[in-house]
């Protein structure tokens, strides 16, 4: 890299879920590779550890600029957010604008055009039109993405499924789409040590008997994550002495709690809420499940692969890019009974479960390390900038 650092702005609307995991992992590593990195975003939607995560980002050398931004369409609020964003971009003159998700993707790419950023990159992290309800919303988000595709230098998909969606839907041509899969640090997790240490997360701390099996789903509590599907699978499961855990928080929490009450599942399901020490939760889990309608590339499954946990996941975009059926886990249709059957199979067949878990871990080491993800992203930035400079 030359002496002048490449200035990159990553823009996000909400600091929670998989996108916060992405940013907290990737941005400090980009700083270490010599990039000048700024995070622009809102914390109107955030998880419980958002402020601590932002402090850690700042300590790593990432510049952080918080601006107001809302998830829902709000014409007046969105214009206000756009003006603030554009002013900041014009003042700082970023070389690369890298947006994430729908709202920041819209505001950031348009502002990037007006601020004359050399490159406008976008990570959908699961297109909104693939997971939202209602025909009008789907059509609106789809057409907006098609328009924004014309303002995008390169779309960065986190999975082959996401890339296929973008290309086959004519959002972006194939030569303007690249796949950079999500990754996590290879720092090892010793499950035995976690199980015998004085953990804040343990079966006892969750009020669960030591000999009880645990089936865990880790996600934001939003409808497309299939929370209701997971609860129905819990009701259908025939394995005795099993507790189903939902780790996460979000707008669907009240509906989930209502379903548990109305269907008398309190003895079988617990909702411990957002858990920051996620490795310790995986350490006590016998099966990890994700029941989504659609995904970009879920960190919950990558975390489970890293932790050597057997996995059951719905066979939808994102999930099926990570899990190879009957090899690294079980892929099933988004059907509660079939999910329950797969869970029961893994709980009853320990040898099969261990083989899947080991294969999943090997796949993680080969394909989903943070080092591999950041190296490919850095190479993408550098090659684009070189090409842009050569064209002058």
Rounded Cα distance between 314 and 158, Å, is 18
In terms of Cα–Cα distance, which of 82, 86, 23, 32 is closest to 57?
Answer: 23
Neighbours of 243 (CB within 10 A): 21
265-271 contact pairs (CB < 8 A, 24+): 265/231, 265/234, 265/235, 268/234, 268/235, 268/242, 268/243, 268/244, 269/231, 269/234, 269/243, 269/244, 269/245, 270/206, 270/207, 270/208, 270/243, 270/244, 270/245, 270/246, 271/245, 271/246
What pLDDT is recorded for position 252?
Answer: 94
What pLDDT is recorded for position 351?
Answer: 97
Per-residue pLDDT of 72-130, as tens digits, reads 989 999 999 999 999 999 999 999 999 999 999 999 999 999 999 989 999 999 999 99
Choice among 38-52, 179-193, 294-308, 309-323 with the minimum mean pLDDT: 179-193
What pLDDT is recorded for position 196?
Answer: 42
191-367: CATH class: alpha beta
CATH topology (fold) of 7-183+369-390: Rossmann fold (3.40.50)
Is pLDDT above 80 for 135? yes
Region 283-295 average pLDDT: 97
Partner residues linked to 9 by β-bridges: 38, 97
Region 276-287 average pLDDT: 93
Dihedral, 292, 318, 278, 185 alpha carbons, nearest 10 = -170
pLDDT mean across residues, the chain? 93
Domain parsing of the chain, residue ranges: 7-183+369-390, 191-367
Per-residue pLDDT of 182-201, as tens digits, reads 999 987 544 444 344 444 68
Is pLDDT above 70 for 205? yes
What pLDDT is recorded for position 390?
Answer: 73
Region 59-67 average pLDDT: 97
Per-residue pLDDT of 342-361, as tens digits, reads 999 999 999 999 999 999 99
Q: Do 191-367 and 7-183+369-390 fall under one CATH topology?
A: yes
Band of the pLDDT at 310, cuts 50, 70, 90? very high
For tokens 């406008």, name the residue. 120
In total, the chain counts a number of residues equal to 392
Taking the whole predicted model, whether its pTM rises above 0.75 is answered as: yes
Per-residue pLDDT of 210-266, as tens digits, reads 999 999 999 999 999 999 999 999 999 999 999 999 999 999 999 999 999 999 999
Rounded Cα distance between 155 and 183, Å, is 18
Region 302-314 average pLDDT: 97
Rounded Cα distance between 302 and 370, Å, is 11
Per-residue pLDDT of 295-305, as tens digits, reads 999 999 999 99
């Amino acid at each position: 890299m030359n002496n002048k650092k490449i200035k990159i702005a990553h823009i996000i609307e909400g600091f929670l879920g998989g996108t916060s995991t992405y940013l907290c992992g990737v941005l400090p590593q980009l700083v270490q590779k010599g990039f000048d990195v700024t995070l622009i975003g809102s914390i109107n939607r955030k998880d419980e550890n958002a402020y601590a995560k932002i402090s850690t980002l700042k300590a790593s050398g990432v510049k952080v600029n918080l601006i107001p931004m809302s998830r829902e369409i709000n014409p007046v609020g969105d214009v206000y957010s756009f003006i603030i964003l554009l002013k900041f971009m014009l003042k700082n003159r970023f070389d690369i604008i890298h947006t994430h998700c729908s709202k920041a993707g819209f505001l950031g790419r348009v502002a990037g055009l007006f601020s004359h950023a050399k490159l406008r990159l976008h990570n959908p992290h699961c297109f909104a039109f693939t997971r939202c309800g209602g025909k009008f919303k789907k059509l609106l988000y789809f057409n907006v993405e098609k328009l924004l595709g014309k303002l995008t230098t390169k779309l960065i998909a986190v999975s082959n499924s996401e890339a296929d969606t973008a290309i086959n839907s004519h959002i972006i041509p194939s030569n303007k789409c690249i796949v950079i899969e999500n990754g996590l640090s290879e720092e090892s997790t010793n499950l035995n040590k976690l199980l015998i240490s004085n953990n804040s997360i343990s079966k006892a701390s969750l009020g669960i008997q030591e000999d009880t099996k645990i089936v865990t789903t880790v996600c934001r509590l939003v409808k497309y994550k299939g929370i209701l599907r997971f609860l129905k699978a819990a009701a259908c499961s025939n394995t005795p002495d099993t507790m189903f855990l939902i780790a996460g928080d979000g707008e669907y929490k009240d509906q989930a709690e209502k379903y548990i009450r109305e269907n008398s599942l309190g003895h079988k399901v617990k909702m411990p809420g957002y858990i920051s020490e996620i490795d310790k939760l995986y350490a006590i889990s016998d099966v990890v499940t994700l029941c989504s309608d659609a995904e970009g590339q879920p960190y919950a499954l990558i975390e489970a692969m890293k932790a050597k946990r057997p996995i059951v996941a719905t066979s939808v975009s994102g999930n099926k890019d990570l899990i190879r059926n009957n090899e690294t886990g079980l892929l099933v249709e988004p059907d509660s009974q079939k999910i329950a059957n797969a869970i029961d199979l893994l709980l009853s067949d320990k040898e099969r479960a261990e083989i899947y878990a080991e294969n999943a871990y090997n796949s993680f080491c080969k394909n989903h390390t943070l080092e591999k993800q950041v190296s490919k992203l850095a190479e993408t930035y550098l090659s684009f900038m070189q090409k842009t400079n050569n064209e002058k």
